[in-house]
Amino acid sequence: MSDEYTDRPDTAHTRPEGVGDETVRALGALSEALETTERARGALYTFHQLTGGADFQLGDAVRLLREAGHDRAAELVEREIVGRNVIPGHWTFQIVEEYDRTYYRPFAEIERRLTDELAAGRTHLYEAELKETRRTRGRPDHTARPGVRPGNR
């Protein structure tokens, strides 16, 4: 096998025949939007975990207030804040579940469906083509795909 052959993108990252520049750009934009949504989802999980952690910290604060002889203050925090909904009717886990059900999953499913329909299921075509324009061929740290080094056959 020649270096020319091994130093090209794999088929999974090569534009299928008949797929135009506009489609590659559009699918790249759709993928980028989903990636941003993935980050938002991660921030939502961070919110969920931080809020849950804070609720347990409140439990410690209530205990310490009681130990310090501040029973009324402890009762106020326990009654009004510990275990409180963060929005009406919702703890953070319910917000995460609703986000996943009503926004994230439908978005991910449509992105997958359109990638399958418009690009034969090939993902990251825009980025793969960008890599081809920016890398220096023949350099060990600029290969087209993993596991290929110039001179390897």
Note whether residue 95 is domain-resident.
Answer: yes
Would you place residue 151 in the very low, low, confident or very high pLDDT band (cuts 50, 70, 90)?
Answer: low
In this model, does residue 143 exceed pLDDT 90? Answer: no
Contact call for residues 82 and 62 (beta carbons, < 8 A)? yes
Note whether residue 150 is domain-resident.
Answer: no
Tens-digit pLDDT profile for residues 9-55: 888 889 999 999 999 999 999 999 999 999 999 999 999 999 999 99
State which residues form the domain around 35. 20-136
Note whether residue 67 is domain-resident.
Answer: yes
Tens-digit pLDDT profile for residues 62-118: 999 999 999 999 999 999 999 999 999 999 999 999 999 999 999 999 999 999 999
Residue 3 makes CB contacts below 8 A (sequence gap 6+) with 138, 150, 151, 153
Note whether residue 64 is domain-resident.
Answer: yes
Pick from 79, 87, 80, 99: which is nearest to 51 by CA? 87
Report, in angstroms and rounded to the nearest whole number, the Rg of the chain calculated over CA atoms. Answer: 26
Tens-digit pLDDT profile for residues 115-135: 999 999 999 999 999 999 999
b/e code 115-125 from CB counts within 10 Å (16+ = b): beebbeebbbb
Coil/strand/helix, residue 90: strand
Note whether residue 142 is domain-resident.
Answer: no
Contact call for residues 113 and 21 (beta carbons, < 8 A)? no
Note whether residue 78 is domain-resident.
Answer: yes
d(CA 107, CA 97): 15
Count of structural domains, the chain: 1
Note whether residue 124 is domain-resident.
Answer: yes
Give pTM, 2 decimals: 0.81
Note whether residue 50 is domain-resident.
Answer: yes
